Amino acid sequence: MATINNNYLKLKAGYLFPEIARRVNTYAQANPDAPIIRLGIGDVTEPLPEACRTAMTQAIEDMGDRDKFKGYGPEQGYAWLREAIATHDFQARGCAIDASEIFISDGSKCDCGNILDIFGHDNTIAVTDPVYPVYVDTNVMAGNTGDANDKGEYAGLVYLPITAENDFTAQIPSHKVDLIYLCFPNNPTGATATRAHLQAWVDYAKTHGSIIFFDAAYEAFITDPSLPHSIYEIDGARDCAIEFRSFSKNAGFTGTRCALTVVPKTLTAKAADGSDVELWQLWNRRQSTKFNGVSYIVQRGAEAVYSETGKAQVKALIGFYMENAQIIRNQLTAAGLQVYGGTNAPYVWVKTPNGLSSWDFFDKLLMNCHVVGTPGSGFGAAGEGYFRISAFNSRVNVEEAMKRITAQFQVG
């Protein structure tokens, strides 16, 4: 009889967002007239920028012309998109990243999990707590952990708490770890990392031969000019870091799927015989074998993000969501709630009032306010007692949601 990958049985009962969907659907079925506003999952709501739509429309026309038709594209992505990314996202910020080191994909979520394909099972892995669940669950699936304890922490992972007590910074371990997941601006807390903090991580990684997986999916929301947008703005990062980015949140590509991963050609790790192996070669081989590339139409849309018109439209889109975040921060703060994030990130991290657990607060918001957020405990043990609210929604919905929440919860 065929057998299964038993590591899947270690996973907690439900991935966070499907569990939220299950609870919301159950409530909605029992209360079909409830006007539910969803500020939970980080999905965007506003239309794609016009520049991207125009480019995609033209690309569709290209597909109807024998001379311009595109079949299988390069697994690494079309050169014209990779060059635009290298020029505008990295070289413009002083990062020595070449277009050949950029790989186009259908999502940074996918890449954050797939990157494990090129690493061994004997690495010590560090994650922040709270953490984007994909980092943990994909390591569980890959067999890199033991079982979870009562708090949901998996044996074999090193957890780095980020809380209000340490200003939501990831404390560098006192011992050696091999693979390090960092996400800044942070999902879920909305915290950011200074140049000095990232420099300390890069120095640590270079000292110990570690690799940093740097998730920069929300870099476009940084408004503070002193904060780095890429880890490659940090000296030495080319020798110890892989960066993941996405078009999902800055340009609204959640439904069209386009992202990128940067693997510098100077980046190496050890083979079993102790020799150094270039990770770029391994990732290129992995993508060429398991991935057929992002569609020509979508890549043309992503390329338009870097046109002058596209830049202006994306900037306006980001500004809209950040205004939503400011409304959420201001309204909840005025109600007496402890609020973090939301200034350089589209997420607001809220301390649950009156000692409520994260899931109890979720249930109260759903049932009493008809508003959906994300329980902090779903991101890890250190997230208990916190709650994530997303700024990704219409202005009308955000204002109405804050009106309902502040009417229900007045602290102090």
Closest C-alpha to 218, from 206, 227, 226, 210? 227
Percent of the chain scored above 70 by pLDDT? Answer: 99
Please tell me the predicted confidence (pLDDT) of residue 75: 97
Please tell me the predicted confidence (pLDDT) of residue 16: 79
Distance CA 110, CA 406 (A): 37
Evaluate if residue 21 carries a pLDDT over 90.
no
Evaluate if residue 412 carries a pLDDT over 80.
no
Please tell me the predicted confidence (pLDDT) of residue 313: 98
Percent of the chain scored above 90 by pLDDT? Answer: 93
Evaluate if residue 330 carries a pLDDT over 80.
yes
Evaluate if residue 208 carries a pLDDT over 70.
yes
The CA R_g of the chain, rounded to the nearest whole Å, is: 21
pTM: 0.96
Average of pLDDT values for 259-275?
97
Q: pLDDT tier at 17 (50, 70, 90 boundaries)?
A: confident
pLDDT, the chain, mean: 96
Please tell me the predicted confidence (pLDDT) of residue 15: 67
Average of pLDDT values for 281-294?
98
Please tell me the predicted confidence (pLDDT) of residue 410: 78
Q: Which residues of 151-166 are buried (b: 16+ CB within 10 A; e: fewer)?
A: ebbbebbbbbbbbeee
- Taken in order 106, 107, 111, 114, is the CA torsion positive or negative? negative
Average of pLDDT values for 369-388?
95
Distance CA 217, CA 96 (A): 19
The 10 Å Cβ neighbour count of residue 265 is: 14
- Contact of 129 with 266, CB cutoff 8 Å: no
211 DSSP β-pair partners: 179
